[in-house]
Chains A and B, each alone.
Chain A
């Protein structure tokens, strides 16, 4: 293996580091095939094996441009891309509909995306539906027993990360020295929008996990389950997490997985403690009045 410093912009190569050699078959998931090469080219969707087990792989192609939608390039998820990704998830659910929980195929998300399509046509037709559709599909697959692991190899930015990553059971990230970026917005833009000087924000970004950028801070918040320190380690780490997720699902510990599980992890790691206090207070307050709202 050559000495690679970063996988940013190299989603297709990243797939090869993860799945069994030569096993990735693009544009086929269960009974679904994508026959038009110009359809959602920024989304790479297909089927591979990982240690012999079938997995669905969904990745970003930062080199592709969607000729029909000029704002979609460089790994941006446009309307077609979002729906293509959603279809791949539904096809995975359908293909395994009759299988036992233990045999539902895993879904591996290879994450390197800077954003959702930010154009006029996108707003006229509703880009929000495309990204929402993909998230609902992933949440459905997760709740139906498919283990979903997101592997951040490059950029995991704001709404695009919500779309492609944050509905997974577990999220893994290559460590920051590989150029991985997890954040909502660069500090310079935040500074302009919330009208705070850059120096103040830079100081804050060295230690406050709810504000600061990068995989290590997301780890503290519970947003990243585990940091992967070697590119060659991605495959084994994903395999390990798929096994852990299967165990949790088999034991009915759905609340330890996905976005809710990350909330619990954030509390454990000390990065997000107020969330839990607020929820506990609300639970107590509702319990005190619940009877009044239950018709007899």
Chain B
């Protein structure tokens, strides 16, 4: 296993799910739930003749950042694209449930529990959503997760972390959007419909799914940052993600409401103003929206390295 100190400087993009989970919390603080030693593979893949993983493609557990208990969910894209089946789904849902129960128990015991002692949830996404091999169970798990996100509101901050190869798509694309805060590196991608399906629907002239630049401009982190769909854009290292989470971990829960994109009527009204803008602009490319947001040379900005991008990017104001 990679040493914790080495993990910190590692590329988040290149890190596997377990290294991300271990590296995002304090050294030696992580306890895994339902890990590989517990041997809980999917019971539904064997009939299809497919290989299984003993953790079903997701690492779940609890660690600590300073005094804050941090419940971690970390998906492994190298196993069936990080897709959600019955076991995987049960693990991610129950992790949030455990965090809420921990908070409830803490507050019941001591109503004045300091914010920094209260748990948070961090979800490192790498997934295309429902696992087709056990699609119905995966679908139901998505709904359960959304329910837990709402149940965590005002109690436990639930933070999305996106910077892995597969990105965060399908049903997990709205699960991430529903969370309190979203942290991405520039390699992160977030959306609902994958590029191939858009091409199939609209034709190649409108959307060429083999055009990596176009795919990144449409769902990539820089675009999501300008749109306000990701709150924080960090560099591609485990340490950078960890530092951002550490900043968030000590905030009062009320501070997260302002970071949300959706989850209240006021937020919906803001989004509707954006939808009206979509109708008005009829953008052919996300860079049209960047220009509208006040970025004079959007193509150059898109190519800019991290520091320059952060310094120059004008975010869309609603």
Annotate A126-149 by CB proximity to B: 1 below 8 A, 0 otherwise.
111111110111011001000000
Contact present for A184 and B130 (CB under 8 Å): yes
Which of B64, B140, B147, B282 is the one whose CB lies under 8 Å from A121? Answer: B282
- Known pairs A86-B268, A129-B174, A194-B133; A282 contacts B95 (CB<8 A): yes
> Whole-angstrom distance from the CB of B67 to the nearest CB of chain A?
5
Which of B91, B265, B278 is the one whose CB lies under 8 Å from A79? Answer: B278
Contact present for A272 and B140 (CB under 8 Å): yes
Q: Report the bound CA distance from A132 to B146 in whole Å.
A: 8
> Whole-angstrom distance from the CB of B173 to the nearest CB of chain A?
4
Tell me how many residues of B have a C-beta within 8 Å of chain A.
93
Contact present for A128 and B90 (CB under 8 Å): no
- Known pairs A124-B223, A183-B135; A260 contacts B144 (CB<8 A): yes
Q: Is B279 an interface residue (CB 8 A)?
A: yes
Q: Is B296 an interface residue (CB 8 A)?
A: no
Contact present for B202 and A119 (CB under 8 Å): yes
Q: Is A42 an interface residue (CB 8 A)?
A: no
Annotate B269-297 by CB proximity to A: 1 below 8 A, 0 otherwise.
00110110111001100100100000000
- Known pairs A116-B193, A159-B170; A143 contacts B151 (CB<8 A): yes
Which of B3-11, B32-40, B299-307 contacts the other chain? B32-40
> Whole-angstrom distance from the CB of B33 to the nearest CB of chain A?
4
> Whole-angstrom distance from the CB of B4 to the nearest CB of chain A?
18
Which of B12-20, B175-183, B235-243, B246-254 contacts the other chain? B175-183
Q: Residue on A with the closest CB to B116?
A: A295
Q: Is A190 an interface residue (CB 8 A)?
A: yes
Main secondary structure of the interface of A (DSSP, over half): helix
Contact present for B64 and A293 (CB under 8 Å): yes
**Chain A, 213-268, CB within 8 A of any chain B CB:** 217-218, 221-223, 258-260, 262-263, 266
**Chain B, 89-145, CB within 8 A of any chain A CB:** 89-91, 93-95, 97-98, 102, 106, 114, 116-117, 119, 129-130, 132-144
Which of B137, B139, B151, B191 is the one whose CB lies under 8 Å from A166? Answer: B139
Residues of A within 8 A of B171 (CB): 158-159, 162
Which of B190, B268, B278 is the one whose CB lies under 8 Å from A87? Answer: B268
Contact present for A274 and B201 (CB under 8 Å): no
Which of B95, B173, B175, B227 is the one whose CB lies under 8 Å from A125? Answer: B227
Q: Report the bound CA distance from A287 to B130 in whole Å.
A: 30
Contact present for B133 and A281 (CB under 8 Å): no
Q: Report the bound CA distance from A197 to B96 in whole Å.
A: 37
- Known pairs A132-B177, A159-B171, A275-B86; A281 contacts B40 (CB<8 A): yes
Contact present for B40 and A131 (CB under 8 Å): no
Contact present for A139 and B146 (CB under 8 Å): yes
Contact present for A259 and B146 (CB under 8 Å): yes
- Known pairs A184-B130, A193-B132; A124 contacts B289 (CB<8 A): yes
Q: Is A71 an interface residue (CB 8 A)?
A: yes
Q: Is B52 an interface residue (CB 8 A)?
A: no
- Known pairs A119-B201, A289-B62; A266 contacts B87 (CB<8 A): no
Q: Report the bound CA distance from A167 to B146 in whole Å.
A: 8
> Whole-angstrom distance from the CB of B260 to the nearest CB of chain A?
9
